[in-house]
């Protein structure tokens, strides 16, 4: 699970619910279907919130990686 140069990155570290998901929605709304997005967050409810958003939108979480300092990296393929 290494970074791919073509993945769009969204950094939501330091933001708390609902701001990480709102940032994700705002930054991905104009991206084409199939775009890979690396989403970084450290909000403890982030995983549940992101999964709920993906369930609604059809986006797919390809993998989740725990990183340093409590940050989680999510690779999402947009629907």
* Catalytic residue ranges: 17
Residues 6+ apart with CB under 8 A from 28: 8, 10, 35, 37, 78
Decide the pairing of beta strands 36-41 and 72-77. Answer: antiparallel
């Amino acid at each position: 699970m290494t970074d791919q140069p073509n993945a769009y990155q969204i950094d939501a570290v330091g933001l708390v619910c609902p701001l990480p998901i709102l940032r994700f929605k705002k930054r991905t709304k104009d991206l084409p279907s199939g775009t890979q997005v690396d989403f970084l967050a450290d909000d403890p409810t982030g995983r549940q919130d992101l999964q709920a958003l993906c369930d609604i939108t059809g986006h797919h979480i390809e993998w989740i990686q725990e990183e340093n300092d409590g940050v989680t990296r999510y690779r999402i393929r947009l629907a």
